[in-house]
Structures are given as C-alpha cells and as structure tokens.
A and B are shown apart, each in its own frame.
Chain A
Amino acid sequence: MTLARPAVADRPTAGPVTGADRRGGRVHGRHLLVGLLLLAIGSYLSLSIGAVKIPLGDMFHPSEQQWRIITLSRMPRTIAILLAGAALAVAGLIMQRITQNSYVSPSTSGTVEAAIFGVLLATLLVPGAGLTDKMLIALATALIGTFGFLQILQRVRVRDPIVVALIGIMYGGVIGALTTYLAYRNDLLQLLEIWTTASFSSIQAGQYEPLYLVVFVGAVGYLFADRFTVVGMGREFATNLGVNYRFVLYVGLIVVSVMAATVVVVVGSIPFLGLIVPNIVRIWLGDNVRVVLPVTALAGAGFVLACDIVGRLIRYPYEIPVGVVGGVVGAGVFIWLIVRAQSKGRA
C-alpha cells in the first residue's frame, strides 16, 4: 500500500471485480460444440453396430437393405437413446433444484417405481393395453408417487440430504415391493424385470415416437429454468423475489413425472442416471439451471449412448441391457460422488 493510492476509493471497486471473476465456469460455445460433435460421432457408431454389421463407410451410400435396417431399427434406437438419456438427466436436474438436494432424482424418489407400478396396473386392468394407455396410467401413478415423496419430504425432521435421499430410495423400494407383490400373484415377475431394466434392443419405428414428448416438456422446463434456480434457493428466497414457490414446484413436479414416466414406459429405467449426470455437470458448472440444463441434456444423452454401445459390444452379437450397464456404472459413480462430498466436507 502506497501513500499515493486513494485508500477510500479502492474499497468499493474491489467487490464487483472479484465477483465477476468468481462467476467462472461459464459454458463457452466451444464446449457445447465439442459435446455435440462427440455425440454425433457416438450416434454414428450406434447406427453401425448391430446383428447386421453396417460398415462405417457404407453409411454414406447404404444399400436398400441397409437403409431399411437403419430407418426401421437403428435410427429409432439411436434417437430413443438420445432422448431418454437427455430426459432422465434433465428430470434429475430439475428435481434436485426444486428439492434443494443433490442426492434426489426420479429413481431415488419413487417416481420411476411408481411409473413401473402404473405399467403393471395397466397390464392387469386394461387387457391388451397399448403404449398410450400404459403411458397415461404410468404418468398418473408417477405424478401421485412423486407428489407423495414431496409430502414426505416436508415431514422429515433430519435435514441431512443423505437422509432425505435414503427416505426416497426406501419409498421407491416400498412401491417396488408392492409391485412385486402384485406381479408375483399374477405370475408376471419375469415380465416385470424386463420392464424395469432399460433396454433399447426392441425399439423400432412405431414404438418410440412417444419419446418426442420429452422434447416438448424439456422446452417447458427450459422456459422455467430461472424460476427453478430461484426455487432452489429456498421458499423464503423465492417469495422475496416474487416467485410463486408452490406453482413452480408443481410445474417441476409435472415436468419430472412426464419425462420419467415416458422413458420408463418406452425403454425402462436406468438407475442413478438422473442422479449422477446432473451432479457431475454441477461440479463443473454450478447451479444455474439456465446454463446447466442444455449441458446436462447433452451429457445424459452421451452417457446412455456410451452405455448402450458398451452393452452391445461386450458380448457381441448378444446385447446387455443399457439399464444394467448404466446401473453398474451409475452405482460406482454415485459411491464416488458420496465419498468425494464426504472428504470435501471434512477438509
């Protein structure tokens, strides 16, 4: 400090400057572009892998038979993968913001289990139920299930985020046990296991189109991005800023339920995806939903694409369901995240 420097003047300027620097972690167009490019390469790979090999070179001038395989099976599959991955990741992100808890996601709060319960109900109650019937019923049960979780959430005494997540997992487990009970009575156990484990192997043209719904719902989610961020700072904070806490909460609830139910009905559940992807993106970019949402969607799509490709290659030409690969990887990453948060908290 020198005499010449006006001591009073440097105080007020110090604040804003560091504040702007600290914001950091901004997404540069570059990053998004690289992400998109990687995703494109992955999708391209995904198109070429399968029981019938389509050499990478042939993709630009496919034979008629190859073209049929691509349009009827490979293309729908790849699109379904991308949409499902993006939807589950974004659903997880929104859920984590509105509950202010980074250990919450559709698969750790009963949403997914409730949707599966709905699929079972549809099978039992509506003989010959089509995709639309199943989806509607699953959506209804998913909404009820998630709403139930939010109700429980308001009654928890221990505010430890891990406890909240444990309650969510157990809650999902209870719904799952109920589903198992019904399935056991009706000899549907093996079918149940097939629904609950995501797989893209049976995706064909004409069976995946409902997934496009998540694009629409995702757009709604993006419109509400800032409000989710605000709600994520707490009820008082939101009220202070004039945001209708309850309304935004319910919008989030609907967005999350629609996304999760749609994905569950069309492809099945991918455990921990909605939990780990937003958390990893968050470590890098922070909590601003508007910034994070597109990246989370990309990352989720990429994660599922990678799991699917790995599942298809491990025991080629047999397929290992993406839900299983994702479950193994997801559980591992989740444990890493917990241990990481723990050691950070201690330091």
Chain B
Amino acid sequence: MTTLHSLLELGSTPTERRRDRAVRLSLLTLAALALASCAAYLLYDVQGSWSYALSLRSRQLGALVVVGVAIGVSSVVFQTIAGSRILTPSVMGFDSLYVLIQTVFVASLGGAALTLGVVERFVVNAVLLATFGVLLFRWLFRRNSRNLYVLVMIGIVLGAFFQSLAVLMSRVLTPDDYLTLQQLTFASFTTVNPTLLGVAALVTVAGLAALVPMLRQVDVVDLGKDNAIALGVDYHRVVTRVLLVSVLLVAVSAALVGPMLFLGLIVANLARQVVRTNRHRALAIGAGLLGAVICVLGQFIVAHVFGLTTTFSVVVNLVGGVYFIILLLRTTRL
C-alpha cells in the first residue's frame, strides 16, 4: 500500500484530505468490483467439466481484462493530450481503418487469413495501425489545433472513408470469405488464441510501463499547450510519446478482439466521473480497472442474459452512441 499512498499524496487541508480519501476509496472499490466480476465470470453456472470451462473462461477473461485495461488507459490519456473529453482514438476513425486492413487481408488471403499465424497477423495489424495512428494524429494536431470539433469531424469522415473502402473490398468477397471477415471484425471474446493473448498482454504491460513515468507531465498538459510549455514541459515530446503508447494500446485491443468504437469513450468519461481527480496516475489506474469491469461484466451479461444473441461490441456501440450524444448535448465546451 505504500505505493498507493505516495501516489495519492494526502493534501494539507481537511477538504483536500477528504477529496484524496474519496479518490482512494473509489480506486479500491473499482479494484474490488474488478475482482468480483472476474470471479463471477469464471465461476458462474459452470456445466460439465470444470477444468475445461475454467481454461476456456480464463482465456476469455484474460482477453477481456487486457482489452479493458488497454482501452481504458489509452483513452483517458488520449483525451487529455487531445484536450477534449469526446476525442478517443476510436472516435477518430481508427476502428474503420482496422476493418479496412482486415478486409484487405481476407480479400487477399481468403479463408487462409484465419489460419495464418496469429502472431504474424497481430504484428502486421498492430504495426500498420500504430504507424497510421501516429501519422494521422500528428497531422491532425498540427494542422487544426484550434478547433477540436473540426478534428473530431475529420476523424469521423476519415472513418467513413475507410469504411467505404472496406465495403468496396467486401463486395468482391465470396460468402465464405465474408463470414471469415465477420468473425475477424466483430469483436469477439469467445475465440481467443492463447499465443495471441500472451503477446497482447506483453505489449500492453510494456506500453503501460512506458506511460507511467510520463503521467505527471500529462497532468500539466491538461492545462493546455501554452501553459504546459510555460511550466517547462517538453510538450511535443510528451504528446508524441503518449500518442504512440495509446495508439499501440488501441491497436493491441483491436487486433485481439476487433473494433469497439465507443468503449474508450464510455470508460474514460465514466472513470473521470468516478475517480474525481486530475492526477493521471490515479485516473489511469481507475480507467484501467473500470475498463476491465465494463468488459468483463458486459460480456458476462451478453453471454448469460442475452444468451449470445448479440455481441458485446454491438451493445457497446448502441450504449456508447447514446452516451456520446448526451455528452455533446450537455457540454458547452468539448
């Protein structure tokens, strides 16, 4: 617990101490919730062989946790870097690019795309997405740093652009290949390859480790570009690094389970509501935990309440879209 204490240095006045205690409490609650939902996911309604069910479920659970943590943490820091609560990598057209890459993949390889070495496919996807992401965001942030709405709009239209291209490709697919594509692009936690999961977990941990030392500087970037520079933060270096890490994390999640347009948006904004602080060390932990909770619980509900008649990503898109509109309606500034 010493790390947690140093992380949440208690303030000097009663008000601040109360606030810091609230932050600590919210983090502990989230951690407990995460553990509880993991346990429920593993143990609820097991039929037949326990060892088989546990090995299958623990793999799915691993994927859910990795995705939740990766999306949660990356979205929250991305929001700060972008200076907007409605900007997440996915909203910026990232997911459509993922679909496009997948479609090109299936179109060129057919059903073989599924059997092709998972690690190779993962690496190709992650590298392509990360490269594109950093290029795109650098271009966008340099070009139109003044109006965030415009950034979002361009991101969304780019998304539509990639989507059109992907549809174009999918039109020439045979129904079999189309099925393959659907399996690849619809986020699915049920078919997780253990090797892939291992690689994804490793990359996620590496990304998080690279992020941690920068989080205090991210706190300052939250004050805006000019103020951050005025306070001696090497703004461009911090932004580039954080972008790279968060894009990598999103790429990991997309390659692991497919696109989840609004997951990051929901997780990051909820995390800011629950963990009421601007210290990104606490915020990132909160977002990571919350991401895991939402993914695990969400998949649990899809499996046990809806009986798998829908997918988690469809539900997330539905809920997330409504939430996004509410965010747009409520905020006077983004």
Contact = CB atoms under 8 A, between A and B. Distances in A.
Q: Do chains A and B touch in the complex (CB under 8 A)?
A: yes
Contacts of A317: none
Interface string A173-210: 11001101100110001100100010000000000000
Interface stretch (B15-23, B34-42, B51-59, B167-175): B167-175
Nearest to A321: B171
B310 interface: yes
A152 B160 contact: no
A327 B314 contact: no
A112 B99 CA distance: 22
Given A166-B328, A170-B325, A342-B150, A184 B314 contact: yes
Interface stretch (B199-207, B282-290, B315-323): B315-323
Interface string A306-334: 00000000000010110110011001101
A172 to B, nearest CB: 9
B322 A155 contact: no
Contact of B160 (A167, A177, A190, A327): A327
A169 B156 contact: yes
A346 B157 CA distance: 22
Contacts of A156: 328-329
Interface string B303-334: 00000011100110110011011001111111
A174 B325 contact: yes
Given A177-B314, A190-B178, A331-B161, A324 B331 contact: no
B328 to A, nearest CB: 5
A8 B164 CA distance: 63
A166 B315 CA distance: 21
Interface string B131-169: 000000000000110110110111011101101110110
B182 interface: yes
Describe A's contact surface by its main secondary structure: helix
Contacts of A178: 318
Nearest to A337: B157
A158 B165 CA distance: 33
Contacts of B161: 327-328, 331-332, 335
A197 B168 CA distance: 9
Contact of A184 (B143, B311, B334): B311
A181 B315 CA distance: 8
Contact of B318 (A174, A197, A335): A174
A163 B328 contact: yes
Interface in A263-283: 271-272
Interface in B182-224: 182
Contact of A177 (B147, B309, B318, B331): B318
A162 interface: yes
B167 A181 contact: no
A157 interface: yes
Nearest to A174: B321
Contacts of B150: 162, 338, 342
A334 B331 contact: no
A170 B149 CA distance: 13
A103 B315 CA distance: 28
Contact of A190 (B175, B309, B333): B175
Given A162-B153, A177-B314, A342-B144, A320 B329 contact: no
B314 A152 contact: no
Interface residues of B, number: 43
A346 B150 CA distance: 13
Describe B's contact surface by its main secondary structure: helix
Given A170-B328, A328-B168, A181 B318 contact: yes
Contacts of A160: 149
A269 to B, nearest CB: 11
Nearest to A167: B328
Contacts of B175: 190
A185 B310 contact: yes
A162 B171 CA distance: 32
A171 interface: yes
A320 B310 contact: no
Contacts of A54: none
B135 to A, nearest CB: 16
A163 to B, nearest CB: 5
Contacts of A155: 329
A49 interface: no
A289 B133 CA distance: 41
Contact of B333 (A158, A181, A271, A324): A158
B111 to A, nearest CB: 16
A189 B170 CA distance: 13
Contact of A152 (B149, B168, B318, B325): B325
A272 B161 CA distance: 10
B164 A177 contact: no
Contacts of A189: 182
A165 interface: yes
Given A158-B333, A185-B309, A335 B165 contact: no
12 contacts: A152-B329, A162-B153, A166-B152, A166-B328, A171-B325, A177-B321, A271-B160, A272-B157, A321-B168, A323-B164, A331-B161, A338-B153
Interface of A: 103, 152, 155-158, 160, 162-163, 165-167, 169-171, 173-174, 177-178, 180-181, 184-185, 189-190, 193, 197, 271-272, 318, 320-321, 323-324, 327-328, 331-332, 334-335, 338-339, 342, 346
Interface of B: 143-144, 146-147, 149-150, 152-154, 156-158, 160-161, 163-165, 167-168, 170-172, 175, 178, 182, 309-311, 314-315, 317-318, 321-322, 324-325, 328-334
